[in-house]
């Protein structure tokens, strides 16, 4: 079922990519080189744009990606190809080579969101790539202001998940003025409890307190 839904979507995005490339090629041919301030940048989707498109196309209110798309919340996945989506891209590449995803724009996007934010907080469920990628983005702004780890990793096993908040502070990924917490527990059990006693405890009051809140600086503003 997933294959039947994903394969046509990849083909459709591939068509859009090639159409954009043709437009850019025509612009380049017709350009006299006078407008050097705005060079033509080769078009490719990023993993986060790919995920947003999935949220748009699925059009199902039971989907987390659907609500992320509807609320313009970027979902980053630097390991997008590690799983079924990667399998589908692999199969597509034999049927029709040339579809590309631009990870460099995504790393810039997540790091810029961090750098341009007035303050950052991170709730990291699990370890490995997602934990390191989030912490590393906060490194670009001299550390997160708030941090909560939820995982079952321990320092003795040498895993990224086992690294304590103190390790992140030593790298500048969490600010030394922060008061980070690590919860050593199964996230599927404790995370719903944490949410129920924080964000979801009084949703209307939280919405009112964050009304008109500006979370980050727009591009070009200092």
Instruction: Put the strands of the sheet holding 121-125 in their side by side order.
Output: 121-125, 146-151, 181-184
Set 20, 26, 173, 201: catalytic member? 173
171 contacts 163 by C-beta, under 8 angstroms: no
CB atoms under 10 Å from CB of 6, counted, come to 19
Give, in order, the Cα–Cα distances in Å from 84 to each of 68, 88, 89, 101.
20, 6, 9, 16
Is 211 in the active site? no
**Which of 122, 99, 116, 115 is closest to 47 using CA atoms?**
99
- Composition of the chain by helix, strand, coil, percent to 5: 50, 10, 40
Contacts of 198 (CB under 8 A, 6+ apart): none
Task: Supply the residues annotated as catalytic.
Answer: 173
């Amino acid at each position: 079922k997933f294959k039947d839904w994903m394969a046509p979507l990849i083909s459709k995005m591939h068509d859009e990519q090639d159409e954009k490339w043709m437009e850019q090629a025509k612009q380049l041919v017709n350009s006299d080189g006078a407008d050097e301030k705005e060079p033509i940048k080769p078009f490719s989707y990023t993993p986060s744009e790919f995920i947003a498109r999935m949220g748009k196309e699925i059009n199902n209110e039971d989907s987390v990606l659907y609500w992320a798309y509807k609320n313009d919340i970027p979902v980053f996945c630097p390991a997008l190809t590690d799983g079924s989506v990667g399998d589908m891209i692999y199969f597509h590449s034999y049927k029709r080579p040339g579809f590309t995803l631009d990870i460099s724009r995504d790393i810039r996007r997540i790091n810029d969101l961090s750098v341009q934010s007035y303050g950052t907080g991170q709730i990291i469920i699990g370890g490995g790539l997602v934990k390191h990628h989030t912490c590393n983005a906060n490194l670009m702004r001299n550390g997160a202001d708030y941090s909560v780890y939820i995982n079952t990793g321990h320092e003795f096993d040498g895993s990224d998940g086992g690294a304590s908040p103190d390790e992140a502070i030593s790298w500048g990924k969490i600010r030394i003025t922060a008061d980070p917490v690590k919860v050593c527990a199964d996230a599927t059990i404790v995370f719903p409890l944490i949410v129920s006693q924080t964000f979801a405890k009084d949703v209307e009051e939280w919405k009112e307190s964050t009304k008109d809140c500006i979370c980050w600086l727009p591009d070009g503003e200092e």
